[in-house]
Amino acid sequence: MCGIVGFIGSRANQKIVLQKMMDAIAHRGPDGQGAYFDDQAALGHLRLSIIDIKGGSQPMMNEDENYIIVFNGEIYNFQELREELLRDGHIFRSHCDTEVLLHGYEQWGKDMLARLRGMFAFAIWNKREKTLFCARDHFGIKPLYYYQNSETGTLMFSSEIKSFLEHPEFVKELNPEQLQLYLSYQYSPGENTFFQGVKKLLPAHWLEYKDGKVMTQRYWSPSFSPDTSRSLEDWEEEISAAMAESVQAHKIADVEVGSFLSSGVDSSYIAALAEVDKTFTVGFSNKQYDETEYAKNFSRSIGIKNYSYRVTPEEYWASLGKIQYAMDEPLADAASVALYFVNREAAKQVKVCLSGEGADEFFGGYNTYKEPFMTSWYDRIPLLFRRAIGTLANYLPPVRGINFLVRHGRPLEERYIGNTNLMGERCKNQLLLHYDNTINPVDLSTIYMQQVRGQDDVARMQFCDLNLWMVGDILLKADKMSMANSLELRVPFLDRKVFDLARRIPTSCKVSGQQTKIAMRGAAEKLIPVQTAEKKKLGFPVPVRAWLRDKKYAAIVRDAFTSSSARQFFNTAKLVKMLEQHVSGRRDNWRQIWCVFMFLVWYDEYFVKR
């Protein structure tokens, strides 16, 4: 895993500019740097050496030096593709996956993307034709951002937005529309970002830059095709085989590989399948939020070493600015801080870690997926009557049950935006100084809901989460928190072969009103204790709710809520009231408070300090 950066557009001082851009993301590749320059292009690469440590330096050229590539990620089937390319006459000078991409693009062009199994973001410069081709992996595991100066036409790309700040032609300007979406999603959704003009290359998309114009296109889309002819036991056996093969593929490395471990089924299953020597866990002194004892006991039971670390409240809060800076965009997922510390501790021992991201989206792991089974009695009421009830409920005090009536007063495609929906439009209208009623968070999710019309509600929610929540929250923090610590994070669940299986499993073998990930848990039970396989989902539990009722930490948030930065965007009196309601115990507003607070911490890092 590495960092890539570059720009297309002639500059007198291009070497100095590129070096500054590379320095901004040096944490992504501490093992070496490389650069390529010609009269139009500047490409940079920062290397974290994992495979073919001596021979995999980048940027890399083909034989006639026309194609130049910079690549971030791992291609797990590169050896098979290499054999095919050798039979077609290609000559290789290394044993790394980067050179396979280079020759694969020569041989197959854009069609190469359909052959790849792995995580990747790469850019290939065609020197003769003056064109740039970029692509991002099928699920969005690796990030890629781009920006084009509207006056000069210069195009920039990078693994992280912060490197753009070092280019003289980058105009740093806040995108206020993204704030309104963020307050609902808790992350920055879609292709736009908090920086005006900066876009994400979306998962399973390629980009081509030619004659000053940028074109993007989707090359693959996940789809569900449930096979109801198979038994639950059949699916469990298939999952066991697919996951065992995927984990072995994800262990390919010339350095030691470890694994993260919490008390949940996903990481426990991965750790047991991988049979690594070392696992890593973080916890907190509050036992309700501490998973370190379980991790030690589980690791001991399967004969591997566990390294655990307890994060103190003081270091958690002290790290917030550094972490929001590392994220590039604000993220209100409190687990991201815990993830930062487990990556930090793992990086002291290994260069690569396996993790359980993707299991919930593939196999139906979120509690929200139970809802269609648990609320079918209410959803049978005609929509006309439910709409009327929901409209009335929206004006009642937010007591228990009101949110349910409001949400179910609308059909799924009008209410479901993903695994989180922190603030409704009424709340945002009260908090924001410049609320725009034309910005509707449902507009984004509807794009994906429409693509799976005719599927059951769980499949539609899964599809939405695969395209929004997973890439915008789960994978964002996985990449940024691991790379901030120069650690490669690999996710064996998020594998094309595993998805080809998961897409065929019917909802009845994924979720019921009582349980999630039914078939996957059954597969895991063949390898790990039943009580672990059946354990309720926790994620990375973090005691933020309790901390916000502590005078010391409530004071930190209150200062942010009354700051000059807050006064630019929010009704600060409303913010303080929301905080006081939580501190007093009258409301449980911690997630809404944290969402606003993280935006202000991020804004301070990017628009006040820099």
Please give the positions annotated as active site: 2
Map tokens 């807050």 to a residue: 566
Q: Please answer whether residues 76 and 492 qualify as being in contact, where contact means their C-beta atoms are separated by less than 8 angstroms.
A: no
Count of alpha carbons within 13 angstroms of residue 372, beta-carbon side: 20
- Residue 422: closest CA among 382, 375, 469: 469
How many Å apart are CA 234 and CA 523, to the nearest integer? 10
**C-alpha 554, offset from chain centre:** 29
DSSP 540: S
The backbone region for 153, taken as left when phi is positive above 0, alpha when psi lies in -120 to 50, beta otherwise, is left
How many Å apart are CA 296 and CA 482, to the nearest integer? 22
**DSSP state string for 309-370:** EEEPHHHHHHTHHHHHHHHSS----THHHHHHHHHHHHHTT-SEEE--TTHHHHHT--GGGG
Q: Please answer whether residues 419 and 366 qualify as being in contact, where contact means their C-beta atoms are separated by less than 8 angstroms.
A: yes
Q: Please answer whether residues 307 and 350 qualify as being in contact, where contact means their C-beta atoms are separated by less than 8 angstroms.
A: no
Q: Quick one: CA torsion of 294, 296, 300, 302, rounded to 10 degrees?
A: 60
Q: Quick one: CA torsion of 139, 327, 21, 174, rounded to 10 degrees?
A: 100
- Record the tokens describing residue 58, joined without a space: 């980048």
Burial (CB count <10 Å: 0-12, 13-18, 19+), residue 534 = middle
Q: Which residues contact residue 66 at a Cβ distance below 8 angstroms, ignoring those fewer than 6 apart?
A: 126, 127, 128
Q: Torsions phi, psi of 189, nearest 5?
A: -90, 160
How many Å apart are CA 111 and CA 217, to the nearest integer? 13
DSSP 164: G
